[in-house]
Structure 1
């Protein structure tokens, strides 16, 4: 059951990954003026990841694609994976508690596929960004999740406005209520309680999303993914040539510390990936190459 839908979703996440990797390497090639333009254009290093179940049997895997030290990107990762198996006791309990799914202890099988992206930029005027979309299946329920959010260390209101407007334009065809709901969801999810502040300037986010209409929910998930490049690339084009100071770079490193705190303490995807035995390097790909704390 759901084999066709699983295959369709998995293929889409891989296709989106390929589009983004191509676009990011093209940015590296075209950056021929301004800070860091004298460096060699960055390229993704691609590594196959595998997940093993507790008994050592194959449980899926994916591709980890990471670029380091490029002209535009200091570190960017674009990962895709399709994993399956049985949930351990801790994951079962967390799933049952959060989603109210009965029967997990009797049949703890799961299947999950998705794409996850985090980009940390060379120029502090270019915002960091995060995006992921995913599908999760158990014999008891299925759902989609994900979104994208912008994390500038130096905010430009016009950049924030463009990022949100592009997302709204992609979500509005699915109904006028989707964008405000998913924006509010992102504001709640990407909040750092111990700092009493948001991680960035928000975006869109959903989790445990299932209306019962798989085609409609998948179409919404696809458009969340399709919105990413037109929302983000113009900001990179606009800011990557700006000169910056040591103070600007210091601001960027401190903001990266905030980003790392959130991902290690609160992010559900990080916790789930580590608890279910996925490659820790792939799970922790989101962490910045350099950060500092005051």
Structure 2
């Protein structure tokens, strides 16, 4: 595969980059539009650019010397969603001298690291990221992120791959919701490779796990990284199908749960579950570490994905036999849903 990529002319590599940008920007715009329609509230948008020192500065570049497209969108205290943090990025950067992809926290391989340089490694990356926290504790939080990465060698990228996935984090478990979310993603996977869903579900279960708690962050979904098995066109078609599956996999669940009655005790449990979400981001999320180390992620985007309110209680064990206890038990071990 590496030899095949190196043989492709520069124009083909630029076309690969452009096609990936288009797919993720389309997901970004379509998802924002669907959320605004359901909520009745508009996102607030904040573009960013990097100054001559490489520091993130609010606003678009005025001198057109920075080709970076970096857009954060935020929705706070909407009618349906308490907080939604959404991001689109397309940028070129350089890994710091001596830093390999693995050391930076990226899920990668020794083969990819052979393309890095002790003097700093140029790269291109594009992707879209979504973290959505509903108001109603009966509606689940969701995360999705899809990305494309090129390591540049000389005049041509020398290595490329896709990564991403989507996973569900309910505060109250409705098995039909979990089954729906997984089924829609399984259908997207099955259209391309019958082995994808089980592989990527297992990877999701393994990755979104909180070791110090001995439990999963949520009830999973799909997750993959360093995906380069097959042609670029085949993999782009698969990833595009995954991006298009996100809205029908998630928004019907919110429609179903957003008007259910709930108590302050239910809301407090939602905040405790959100606390676990924060713990994972701060202690276990390798993507965040890579984004900060490489300069790909602006720190404001990290806080944009955090819940507006989270809570921690000492020895937060739910009452035996309660819905909260049932969720906690499910999170102790992965199970099948689709």
Using the size of structure 1 for normalisation, the TM-score is 0.91
Counterparts of 1:51 and 1:274, CA distance in 2 = 14
Q: Match of 2:147?
A: 134
1:62 Cα deviation after fit: 1.4
User: 2:284 is matched with which residue?
Assistant: 266
CA spacing shift, 1:120–1:138, aligned 2, 3 Å: same
Contact 1:59–1:85 (Cα < 8 Å) also in 2: no
Aligned to 1:39: none
Identify if the C-alpha distance between structure 1 residues 97 and 155 changes in structure 2 by more than 3 Å, giving closer, same or farther.
closer
In the alignment, what sits opposite 2:85? Answer: 77
Alignment of 1:101-250 (within 5 A): 101-105=113-117, 108-139=121-152, 140-250=158-268
Offset from partner CA, 1:168-208 (integer Å, 9 cap, x none): 11111102111111101100110111111000000000011
SS at match of 1:92: coil
Give, in angstroms, the shift of residue 73 of structure 1.
0.5
Counting matched residue pairs gives 282
Rounded Cα–Cα distance in structure 1 between residues aligned with 2:201 and 2:142: 15
Residue of structure 2 equivalent to 1:17: 28
Distance 1:203 1:19 in 2: 20
Question: Is residue 275 of structure 1 aligned with residue 288 of structure 2?
Answer: no
Match of 1:36 in 2: none
Stretches of structure 1 that go unaligned for 5 or more consecutive residues are: 30-41
Contact kept? 2:115, 2:159, Cα under 8 Å: no
Mark the structure with the bigger radius of gyration: 2
Any idea what the Cα deviations from partners look like across 1:31-78, whole Å, max 9, x if unmatched?
xxxxxxxxxxx2200110224575677362311111001010000012
Maintained 8 Å contact 1:52/1:59: no
Within the alignment, does 1:66 sit opposite 2:84 as a pair?
Answer: no
Contact map agreement 2:107 2:286 (CA 8 A) in 1: no
Tell me how far 1:160 sits from its aligned partner. Answer: 0.3
- Please state whether the residue corresponding to 1:141 is helix, strand or coil: strand
* Contact 1:50/1:279 (<8 A) preserved: no
CA distance in 2, matches of 1:52, 1:240: 42
Residues 1:288 and 2:307 aligned together: yes
Give the Cα separation in 1 of the matches to 2:124 and 2:230: 18
- Whether contact under 8 Å (2:123, 2:151) holds in the other structure is yes
Q: What is the distance in 2 between the residues matched to 1:92 and 1:54?
A: 22
Contact 1:274/1:283 (CA < 8 Å) preserved in 2? no
Q: What secondary structure, in the 3-state scheme, does the structure 1 residue paired with 2:288 have?
A: helix
Measured in 1, the distance between the counterparts of 2:228 and 2:175 equals: 33
Query: SS where residue 42 of structure 2 aligns?
Result: coil
Q: Give the Cα separation in 2 of the matches to 1:97 and 1:269.
A: 8
2:39 is aligned to 28
SS state of the match for residue 195, structure 1? coil
Q: Is the 8 A contact 1:115 1:132 kept in 2?
A: yes
Structure 1 pair 168–212 and aligned structure 2 pair: CA distance change class (3 A): closer
Q: TM-score, normalised by structure 2?
A: 0.79
